[in-house]
Amino acid sequence: MSFTPELIDELEVLALFKHDSSQEGIKINSQAPTKLIAAAKRLHEKGLTDQPDGGYLTSLGHDAVESVQLLQNILKAPQPA
């Protein structure tokens, strides 16, 4: 599986969520880049959020955000010499 531009856009939107809080959602503004608006809609269609413009994470969405944050931490970690 390759990382398509659409998948990367979805990962970008997921990275906007705070994993440690189920009480905080996000709102993708109508003036946001078109690719992020479309990514938010796809995430909703996939059952990861409760609204097409962001909203709150579903249980599956929480799992996805946790995985995105773990991947970010691994890739940002200093590499051993």
Per-residue pLDDT tens, the chain, 81 aa: give them: 799 999 999 999 999 998 776 788 999 999 999 999 999 999 999 999 999 999 999 999 999 999 999 999 999 988 776
Residues 51 and 22: their CA atoms lie apart, in Å, by 14
- Please count the other Cβ atoms lying within 10 Å of the Cβ belonging to residue 74: 8
Contact between residue 40 and residue 49 where contact means Cβ atoms under 8 Å apart: yes
Beta strands in the chain (DSSP E): 26-27, 49-51, 54-57
The reported pLDDT for the residue numbered 78 is: 82
The reported pLDDT for the residue numbered 81 is: 66
Tell me the β-bridge partners of 24: none
3-state secondary structure of 8: helix
The reported pLDDT for the residue numbered 18 is: 86
The reported pLDDT for the residue numbered 19 is: 74
